[in-house]
Amino acid sequence: MSSEPFKVGLLGFGTVGSAFAELLEERAAEIERFNGRRPVLGGVLTRSRGNFEEILADADVVVELMGGLEPAREYLLAAMRAGKDVVSANKQLLSQYGEELFETARQHDVRLRFEAAVAGVVPVVRVLEESLSATPIERIHGIVNGTTNFILTEMSNGASYPEALKEAQRRGFAEADPSDDVTGRDAAAKMAILARLAFGTPVHLNDVRYEGIEHLHRDDLEYARELGLGLKLIGTAERRQGGLSVRVHPTFLYSGHPLAAVSGPFNAVTVESETITEITMSGPGAGGRQTASAVLGDVVSAMTGGARAPAPPLPLRLIEDVENAFYLHLDVADRPGVLAAVTQVLGEHDVSIKSVVQRGMGERARLVMVTHQVLESRLRTAIERVGEFEFVRSAPRIIRVIEEEFL
């Protein structure tokens, strides 16, 4: 079978862009064998070469791998208005201008694909759009940032946070300025995209509450081990109280949770629904070649067609204050009556305690507790009162806990 080549207009030629061009050439013959058309690189746009209008006119699909908000946004909108399918790996753009992009795709009946923007090579976008399109999703939990998962794995093996960060940088898993990763902002952008996809409601990056890992101590990991828990930076999007909660926090997981065993620079996503119970997908966080592979998968999908247009958004209230179990770490004077005083205050605020570890350290003691489910605002009020006791030596720390069994 001999037909016209399928022309890919490429915007951006950095690490991912060049890896994509290389992979496209390597795989072109095999893709042609399966799909009947051979994908070829049309024009390439970089800061110093190429003309967007010419690339657009010639392209069957436009692939945006420039990153950043502008001019990536402008180019994607122009390509869709010209009736072209587009592929993007740009999570910042999608989490901040997603509605504009989806609406443009809908108006011009073209497809916007973005598998590489969310979870590296883990095909969670495709699975949510297609395999699970018949399933009412209740909850998504994700480890969607490989850098922080690597750092937490190192810390659980005994490293301090600065040591673990340095090792991540040395091995190329963290950038020189790691703030986008370690503050949780990168994970928040990905969770905004996933939540939009799974629940069909507009979620902007600014709607996602997030917290990073910079304030975690080696001690937290050690105590957690005693309580039988693992520590991960978990993104959550779930139906709660008739609305939707989307958030990213360091979270302790009971050891049987499907995400508890995900170590090193990996990504993983668990999707829960009554009809399917749960599905977990995991794989390496993206290096250039892995990201390029996800992008190429989207290009092949554009060749074969058939993805649905994004549905018009559903309004769903975003919930800020949700119930969780919490781990609570207190640094207190080691003397009689302390535990009683703390538990009384907690009890007065309906914070119910599930387990306690107390350990003396000379004149001080560390008191670690795990609570049952409690509304976050209620816990914070209780903790504020506990923090007022003169026997409390430093600010109480809290970390969320996922403890329930699934099945």
Span from 22-30, 84-92, 331-339, 384-392 in contact with its own copies (CB under 8 A): 22-30
Name the CA radius of gyration of the chain, rounded: 24
**The binder of its own copies chosen from 299, 325, 332, 398 (CB under 8 A):** 299
Q: Least separation, in Å, of the C-beta of 191 and its own copies?
A: 20
Among 7, 84, 91, 190, the active-site one is: 190
Cβ density class 361-378: b for 16+ within 10 Å, e for less: eeebbbbbbbbeebebee
CA distance 373 to 361: 30
* Smaller CB separation from its own copies, 71 or 258: 258
Task: Work out whether 305 is an interface residue with its own copies (CB under 8 A).
Answer: yes
* Smaller CB separation from its own copies, 295 or 365: 295
Q: Least separation, in Å, of the C-beta of 198 and its own copies?
A: 12
190 is catalytic: yes
**The binder of its own copies chosen from 5, 15, 18, 27 (CB under 8 A):** 27
**The binder of its own copies chosen from 5, 15, 18, 35 (CB under 8 A):** 35
Residues of span 118-137 touching its own copies by CB under 8 A: 121-123, 126-127, 130-136
| Tally of CB atoms within 10 A around 253 | 23
Task: Work out whether 167 is an interface residue with its own copies (CB under 8 A).
Answer: no
CA distance 239 to 118: 20
* Positions that interact with its own copies (CB under 8 A): 23, 27, 30-31, 33-35, 115, 121-123, 126-127, 130-136, 200, 256, 258, 261, 263-264, 275-284, 289-290, 292-294, 296-297, 299-301, 304-308, 311, 407
